[in-house]
Amino acid sequence: MSGEHGGLRPYLKLLRPHQWVKSGFVLVGLLFGHAWHDVQLVRQVLLAVAAFSLAASTIYVLNDLADRDQDRLHPEKRHRPLASGAVNVLQALLLAGACLFAALMLAHAASPVVLAIVVGYLLLNVGYTLGLKHVVLLDVFIISAGFMLRILAGTLGVGIVPSHWLLLCGLMITLFLGFAKRHAEIAAMAGRGGSHRQVLDDYDVSLLDKLIGISAAGAIINYSLYTVSPETVAMHGTTHLIYTVPFVVYGIFRYLFLLHRRGGGGDPAAALLRDPHLIVASAGWLATVLWLLG
């Protein structure tokens, strides 16, 4: 296989490896379940991370195949390998098949439960690609469900009991990111959103601002309550997790700033990897959590 630009670059771009940062949600159980000293559990979780990364790449390839005509109308997405013609349909299908096989093998090696969760993730996203992405509100809830399945793979999938507070927080933060993505898409298409993504005709900026605000507030409140709940204090032996809340609040507020003032919000993974404020807030949060729990 050879792309328009030569080498593997178009195929790597099609797989969107920067999006693998989303598989970090699989690590939540390992972190907050005090399980990082268990070598077997760490191995299972890392296999689940790899499985979800490749499963996500499979879905990205299939989505780009289905959306390649619409992507040609988008100011940024028209440069994607399939939309631009750098990779053809047969090459994309072969690449998706290889990623799918590897994802299922890695998930099976992690545990039967992880395999079931990854299969559920794949089926959910196939449904999304085939039509559920056109159903207003449900489209974002499906995006959120993909993140929640990652959390469950890193908890239930390896025998760690997930915290209800963290599940609620994960739900709200992923809804926040999903609605912010829709907001960014409407802004990028300048009133022609429906030509790129049909469901954008059912959203408007005012509605999305309300949904984003509710989701952001829900995420902050749920995480804050988690840090001070008696269950959390008993499990971690500290009342000081509340000092990680400012990092979360700053990160969410920074993301809102990027969305409204810098044209960001369309790609959470890219923002997390490129924006220095989000990098520092994320690193500060992680370092503080590790220090308090360690």
What single string gives the DSSP state of each residue in 121-184? HHHHHHHHHHTGGGSTTHHHHHHHHHHHHHHHHTTGGGTPPPPHHHHHHHHHHHHHHHHHHHHH
- For residue 196, pLDDT beyond 70: no
pLDDT interval class at 4 (50, 70, 90): very low
Residue that wins the pLDDT comparison between 253 and 201:
253
- For residue 5, pLDDT beyond 60: no
Where are the domains positioned within the chain? 7-162, 163-294
Helix 138-153, helix 112-130: angle, nearest 10: 170
pLDDT at 2: 45
Q: Tell me the percentage of the chain whose pLDDT exceeds 90.
A: 61
Q: Domain 7-162's class?
A: mainly alpha
Tell me the per-residue pLDDT of 48-57, one tens digit each, with 9 for 90 and over: 999 999 999 9
The DSSP symbol for 38 reads -
Residue that wins the pLDDT comparison between 173 and 30:
173
- What mean pLDDT, rounded, does the chain reach? 89
**8 Å CB contact between 54 and 102:** yes
Tell me the per-residue pLDDT of 254-293, one tens digit each, with 9 for 90 and over: 999 999 998 888 888 888 889 999 999 999 999 999 999 8
- For residue 10, pLDDT beyond 60: yes
Mean pLDDT, rounded, for 61-69: 84
Residue that wins the pLDDT comparison between 129 and 113:
113
Mean pLDDT, rounded, for 149-162: 92
Side-chain-side CA neighbours of 180 within 13 Å: the count stands at: 30
pLDDT interval class at 226 (50, 70, 90): very high
- For residue 1, pLDDT beyond 50: no
